[in-house]
Amino acid sequence: MDLEAKRAAALKDNRCFSKTTLKVEYRMKPGANAQPVKFYKNGFGLSYGVYLISDCVPMRPLVKRSDKQKENDKKLGEIARKSSRRYQALLMAHDLMMMDNVVVLDTETTGLESDDQIIEIGVTDIKGNVLLEQRVRPSVPVNPEASNVHAICDVELEHEPCFLEIEPQLKQLLTGKTVVIFNAEFDIRLLNQTANAFGCDSAWIAAIKTECAMYLAADILGPTNRYGTISLSDTLYSLGVNFKHQAHSAIGDAIATAKIINEFSALHCHEYKQSNTI
């Protein structure tokens, strides 16, 4: 059925449509004084109105675009795509996989406050191979709420080395590297707090070059909370990764973060290949 016939049939039945249906199927839009005759809710709980087609007016006919115009549209679309935060985040993940001096870090802590400290550190290379897995004895007690999350309590840390003892090894692992962290701001803050609590010089921590996997994930997959971020578990779920390591252990979460970067890099390669075959 051609466009005019579709319009005539809808007018005869005095049907109602949303603005999107009017535009896409009938090339029409609500007239200057048209008002919705009813409102509905979509799957996201947002309201939209429907209009009597008799209150609508035709839109300008679509103009057939030349091959040159189509080619320019394609070029502009590709420029816009490559300028997007999503593309840039995917490209960063791919670049990280290509670099030789990248490590992944995660920590577990006594809590979230300004006097809390690190009690477990996990470091891997970008492929997820373990470089360091170490528990650390803090100088403050473990908050029970934190313990409920990572299942580490004070008695388990009594015979572990303190931060002062493991700092040289950690410093050697991280200095001069790009350190990928899921929520880098938090882990770097806790590293600083722990170093300061034991009287260590934290200048080397401030000099660490970090890349936050959490914000890369939010740019690629979209945020899932009101803070504009996404959790590690939600990221793995969105990627369809069935992760077998223990959640909320420093080394398990570091391996998970490395896996996420690997998945994003593969996604970048897939989309790049597709865009060059269109």
Summarize pLDDT for 145-191 with one digit per residue, the tens. Answer: 999 999 999 999 999 999 999 999 999 999 999 999 999 999 999 99
Domain match, 157 and 265 both: yes
Domain match, 96 and 30 both: no
Which tokens hold the place of 14? 């005095």
Could you tell me if residue 196 is inside a domain?
Answer: yes
Q: Are 55 and 31 in contact (CB under 8 A)?
A: yes
The predicted pLDDT at position 200 comes to 95
Q: Is the pTM of this model over 0.85?
A: no
| Per-residue pLDDT at 134 exceeds 80 | yes
Could you tell me if residue 192 is inside a domain?
Answer: yes
Mean pLDDT, residues 124-146 = 97
| Per-residue pLDDT at 277 exceeds 60 | no
Domain match, 38 and 106 both: no
Domain match, 106 and 24 both: no
Domain match, 53 and 89 both: no
- Is residue 228 left, alpha or beta, with left meaning phi > 0 and alpha meaning psi from -120 to 50? left
CA distance 7 to 183: 54
Could you tell me if residue 245 is inside a domain?
Answer: yes
Nearest to 149 by CA among 246, 259, 251: 246
By residue range, what is the domain housing residue 141?
85-275
Could you tell me if residue 250 is inside a domain?
Answer: yes
79, 125, 270, 276 from 273: Cα distances, Å: 16, 27, 5, 5
Domain match, 144 and 242 both: yes
Confidence band for 121, pLDDT divided at 50, 70 and 90: very high
- Residue 194 belongs to a domain with what CATH number? 3.30.420.10
Domain match, 37 and 94 both: no
Could you tell me if residue 73 is inside a domain?
Answer: no
User: 140: which residues sit within 8 A by CB, 6+ positions away?
Assistant: 110, 115, 116, 117, 197
Could you tell me if residue 65 is inside a domain?
Answer: no
Count of domains forming the chain = 2
The predicted pLDDT at position 214 comes to 97
Could you tell me if residue 75 is inside a domain?
Answer: no
The last residue of one of the domains, among 20, 42, 58, is 58
Domain match, 99 and 163 both: yes
The predicted pLDDT at position 273 comes to 67
Domain match, 224 and 93 both: yes
The predicted pLDDT at position 72 comes to 75
The predicted pLDDT at position 154 comes to 95
The predicted pLDDT at position 26 comes to 93
Domain match, 184 and 124 both: yes
| Per-residue pLDDT at 43 exceeds 80 | no
The predicted pLDDT at position 270 comes to 83
- The 3-state secondary structure of the chain reads CCHHHHHHHHHHCCCEEEHHHHHHHHCEEECCCCCCCEEEECCCCCEEEEEEHHHEEECCCCCCCCHHHHHHHHHHHHHHHHHCHHHHHHHHHHHHHHCCCEEEEEEEECCCCCCCCEEEEEEEECCCCEEEEEECECCCCCCHHHHHHHCCCHHHHCCCCEHHHHHHHHHHHHCCCEEEECCHHHHHHHHHHHHHHCCCCCHHHHCCEEEEHHHHHHHHHCCCCCCCCCCHHHHHHHHCCCCCCCCCCHHHHHHHHHHHHHHHHHHHHHHHHHHCCC
CA distance 65 to 36: 33
Domain match, 44 and 115 both: no
The predicted pLDDT at position 81 comes to 73
Could you tell me if residue 145 is inside a domain?
Answer: yes
Residue corresponding to tokens 């004070």: 154
Domain match, 255 and 213 both: yes
| Per-residue pLDDT at 222 exceeds 70 | yes
